[in-house]
Amino acid sequence: MQEPGKVVLITGASSGIGAATARRLAADGHRVFLGARRDERLETLCGEIGSAGGTAAFRRLDVTSAADLRAFVEAARTTYGRVDVVVNNAGVMPLSPLAALKTDEWDRMIDVNVRGVLHGIAAGLPVMRAQGGGHFITVASVGAYEVSPTAAVYCATKFAVRAISEGLRQESGGDIRVSLVSPGVTESELADHITDPAARDAMTRYRAVALPASAIADAIAFAVAQPPEVDVNEIVVRPARSAQ
């Protein structure tokens, strides 16, 4: 890999897949710029990466704010001089049956999972166009391909980002690479915010077999590492012992 590596922006980087991806890409020699609402966790993570010999910086980020994401991208460009990869990873998953009418949670999923991705594209695309290239990686889910009870709205948001990713790929003209990485059950904090008791119990059983977050980080690193003429468009990663 050519030094000093790529400049990689990661949303939702304070835990789970985002944090694992930051560690993996920094270990590969890339310069990572991390965003999340829990900036104290980001500070700790950047310290860990620095102690291991990597390069990392952070800015507090709320992906539901288009202005905040524009400022995040601009801060990364100010820090490192360019923006090579944007990893749209931030997401929420408060599952519940539609009949529970948890409309606030539906709105939250739409705001974070869909608008957050659109805001990332809107902030990063002009920069990538101006510099002649770049790479968007969106973390979706196997829920982008199938629907299950209690997950209708969550799956709808992941179907949406799959469509957005494919549309961006078709419009990119080859200068900007576009990847969708869809994890199956993965160790993360996503299920911690499920408020519906039945959905929470079902998810506990569903997550009995789970991938480590590092497995998804490896998939993202694979897409990042490809030469400019190779565009890895979709990767689905499931636990080997899972039927889902």
Question: Which residues are catalytic, by number?
Answer: 154
Q: How many CA atoms lie within 13 A of 146 on its CB side?
A: 9
Give the sign of the dihedral formed by CA 47, CA 71, CA 12, CA 3. Answer: negative
CA 108 to each of CA 93, 111, 148, 181: distance values in angstroms, whole numbers, following the listed order: 9, 5, 19, 22
Distance CA 102, CA 96 (A): 7
The phi, psi pair for 79, rounded to 5°, reads: -70, -45
List the beta strands (DSSP E) in the chain. 7-11, 31-36, 55-60, 85-88, 134-139, 176-183, 234-237
Strand partners, 32: 8, 56
Residue 9 neighbours by CB distance under 10 Å: 30
DSSP state of 35: E
Distance CA 14, CA 59 (A): 11
